[in-house]
Amino acid sequence: EVQLVQSGSQMKKPGESLKISCKASGYNFDKYWIGWVRQEAGKGPQWMGFVYPEDSDTRVNPSFRGQVTISVDKSLTTAYLQWSSLKASDTAMYFCAKWAGVGSYSLGMDVWGQGTTVTVSS
Amino acid sequence: DVQMTQSPSSVSASVGDRVTITCRASQDISAWISWYQQKPGEAPKLLISASTTLQSDFPLRFSGRGSGTDFSLTINDLQPEDVATYYCQQVAFFPQTFGGGTKIDMK
């Protein structure tokens, strides 16, 4: 079974760092784009970016460039989303997702993690 | 960024109705659009890829069409389990962008 399992919810203070994870299983991890989607409460999804594990080619939404780091560890078949200095505006649900189609990012996201809630508050 | 204008933002319909949601892209995206269904408290689920390809998890009453800038998702014979919010997403250009969503509820 193809599955993405995300790390647990986090409560942090502004200025703190955070790294959340997404463990993939059941498919050839190296060959499918995997990335992150942000969703604030009551709002639509927002594509943050993704990475191709085979060569670590990474694309990041300019809205998030410099704010987050997207990475993978192929040996652990795990993707990561990292912040060095959180802001209150980072409060949201974060989903990891696998893109459909070998080597493709044009067929949508066919497998999703369960979501990680990040709350940033002083 | 490519803007995806989705309408209506909400619709109230009855069991058996046909519901059509439209999405208009701010520039030509060929057929590179995906549609998702999201139920409260859940992750979105891929419903349609490449404008017309229905995912195997979904019944044939769902269909998508369109190319260029104008797209639609149609649900025939609406069922109670179709109550959800539906989003379009263009995957032709970076950043990939979503429409604002259409919330379907039952009359």
The 10s digit of each residue's pLDDT in A83-97 is: 999 999 999 999 999
Given a contact cutoff of 8 angstroms between Cβ atoms, the answer to whether A32 and A16 are in contact is no
Q: For residue B12, how far is the Cα from the chain centroid? A: 16
**In 3D, which of B94, B89, B29 has the Cα closest to residue A49?**
B94
Chain A residues in contact with B95 (beta carbon < 8 A):
47, 49, 61-63
pLDDT at A103: 86
**Hey, which bits of A9-54 come out as E strands?**
10-12, 18-25, 34-39, 45-52
Q: What is the pLDDT of residues A19-45, one digit of tens each?
A: 999 999 999 999 999 999 999 999 999
Q: Do B34 and A108 touch (CB under 8 A)?
A: yes
Chain B residues in contact with A61 (beta carbon < 8 A):
94-95
Q: What is the pLDDT of residues A95-120, one digit of tens each?
A: 999 999 888 888 999 999 999 999 99
Give the residues of chain B that fall short of pLDDT 50: none
Q: What is the pLDDT of residues A71-83, one digit of tens each?
A: 999 999 999 999 9
Q: How far is A65 from chain B (nearest CA, A)?
A: 11
Q: Which residue of A105, A110, A113 is in closest CB contact with B46?
A: A110
List all residues 6 or more positions away from B27 whose beta carbon is below 8 Å from its beta carbon.
Answer: B2, B69, B93
pLDDT at A105: 87
For B51, name the nearest residue in chain A, comparing CA atoms only.
A107
